[in-house]
């Protein structure tokens, strides 16, 4: 513990020195990146609410709830970075153990739910409703919530002194073991996202590419920080790097989520629809062809089945009767008879008497 505050820090507790220490600048750099990520995430959340009324495709509109929960998880990732910049103590230890796994489980649950929905869309099947999507997210994330609560309750009630005074090796071991389910979610999302590239509807495949690239970079980040936390720092005799390694992983993964996934998804949210690239359930958003369903096909009542570009006949009219027309010669002219007044029997009567 330093006897005096480092340069850049005033009279604050020693646990918060890394937030302002000018000599150990990694804390200042990471908190700056995390603060920028918080601001951009809040801006994206506001933009998401603004774009709701402009989304034309009903399948994309259902995904707005998934995007919202994913942004909340990303916001939590940037906020959790400060818990690893602040020195490990009795208050930050439970926060780290509980929130780290829960927040990442929420983010990967959103990605997994989106990938499952895309697997139906690329094959032309009916997508999940917004209620089913929410239930899937909650179901996937709730498992990690139960695991974290069970661990904390067990450690804080039965082994509180041991939990608050664990060695660095034991802390790192328990911390990684607590994230096994999150690792399973990552692997499952990566596997499901690969199946989104199989299907006839190409416009949905680019959404699957966003998930695939995001998970690929996330797996690389997690492999590096877990390796450094469990073996690398010990081999290099740099136990002081434990918190910086996890904090760097948080900030890096948060920015990967923003750049590789959520920003491209929001950009394509209001993209114009293209005829033929979307499955049949989106036909109500696109031009339809009115065809006769029963009886003999009468081309006179079929709307625009053959366009001019296909026939090459500029004089062709889709509304013509296709019957040979005959010229009708004019016959006798008929006129409407006008009414005539009948002659009265008293027309020549003069009022005199007849012969007796």
Q: Residue 312: which pLDDT band, with cuts at 50, 70 and 90?
A: very low
Q: What is the mean pLDDT of residues 321-330?
A: 54
Question: Is pLDDT of 285 > 50?
Answer: no
Of the candidate ranges 6-10, 48-52, 88-92, 236-240, the one whose mean pLDDT is the lowest: 6-10
**Closest C-alpha among 79, 48, 77 to residue 65:** 48
Q: How many CB atoms lie within 10 A of CB 304?
A: 11
Torsion sign (Cα): 202, 204, 207, 209: negative
Of the candidate ranges 26-40, 265-279, 336-350, the one whose mean pLDDT is the lowest: 336-350
Q: What is the pTM of this model?
A: 0.75
Question: Is pLDDT of 287 > 50?
Answer: no
Residue 242 or 45, more confident = 45
Question: Is pLDDT of 218 > 80?
Answer: yes
Domains identified in the chain and CATH numbers: 15-270 (1.20.1070.10)
Question: Is pLDDT of 79 > 90?
Answer: yes
Share of the chain above pLDDT 90, in %: 43
Burial class (CB in 10 A: 0-12, 13-18, 19+), 336: exposed
Residue 302 or 130, more confident = 130
Q: Residue 281: which pLDDT band, with cuts at 50, 70 and 90?
A: very low
Question: Is pLDDT of 203 > 70?
Answer: yes
Contact between residue 194 and residue 116 where contact means Cβ atoms under 8 Å apart: no
Mean pLDDT of the chain: 80
Cα separation, 318 vs 301, in Å, equals 9
Q: What is the mean pLDDT of residues 301-324?
A: 48
Cα separation, 21 vs 5, in Å, equals 9
Cα separation, 166 vs 224, in Å, equals 24
Question: Is pLDDT of 237 > 60?
Answer: yes
């Amino acid at each position: 513990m330093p006897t005096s505050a480092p340069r850049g820090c005033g009279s604050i507790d020693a646990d918060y020195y890394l937030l302002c220490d000018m000599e150990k600048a990694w804390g200042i750099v990471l908190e700056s990146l995390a603060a920028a990520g918080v601001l951009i995430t809040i801006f994206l959340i506001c933009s998401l609410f603004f774009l709701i009324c402009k989304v034309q495709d009903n399948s994309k509109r259902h995904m707005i709830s998934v995007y919202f929960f994913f942004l909340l998880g990303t916001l939590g990732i940037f906020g959790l970075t400060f818990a690893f910049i602040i020195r490990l103590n009795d208050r930050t230890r439970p926060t780290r153990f509980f929130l780290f796994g829960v927040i990442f489980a929420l983010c990967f649950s959103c990605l997994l739910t989106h990938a499952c929905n895309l697997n139906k869309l690329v094959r032309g099947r009916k997508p999940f409703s917004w209620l089913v999507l929410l239930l899937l997210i909650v179901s996937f994330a709730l498992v990690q919530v139960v695991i974290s609560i069970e661990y904390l309750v067990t450690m804080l009630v039965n082994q509180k002194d041991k939990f608050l005074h664990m060695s660095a090796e034991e802390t790192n071991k328990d911390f990684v073991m607590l994230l096994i389910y999150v690792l399973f979610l990552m692997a499952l999302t990566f596997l499901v996202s690969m199946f989104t590239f199989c299907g006839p509807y190409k416009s949905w495949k680019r959404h699957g590419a966003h998930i695939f690239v995001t998970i690929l970079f996330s797996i690389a980040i997690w492999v590096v920080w877990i390796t450094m936390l469990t073996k690398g720092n010990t081999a290099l005799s740099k136990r002081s790097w434990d918190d910086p390694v996890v904090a760097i992983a948080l900030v890096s993964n948060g920015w990967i989520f923003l750049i590789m996934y959520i920003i491209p998804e929001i950009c394509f949210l209001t993209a114009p629809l293209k005829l033929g690239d979307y499955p049949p359930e989106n036909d109500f958003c696109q031009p339809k062809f009115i065809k006769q369903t029963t009886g003999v096909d009468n081309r006179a009542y079929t709307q625009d089945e053959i366009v001019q570009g296909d026939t090459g006949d500029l004089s062709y009219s889709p509304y013509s009767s296709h019957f040979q027309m005959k010229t009708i010669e004019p016959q006798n002219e008929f006129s409407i008879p006008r009414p005539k007044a009948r002659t009265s029997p008293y027309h020549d009567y003069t009022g005199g008497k007849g012969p007796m």
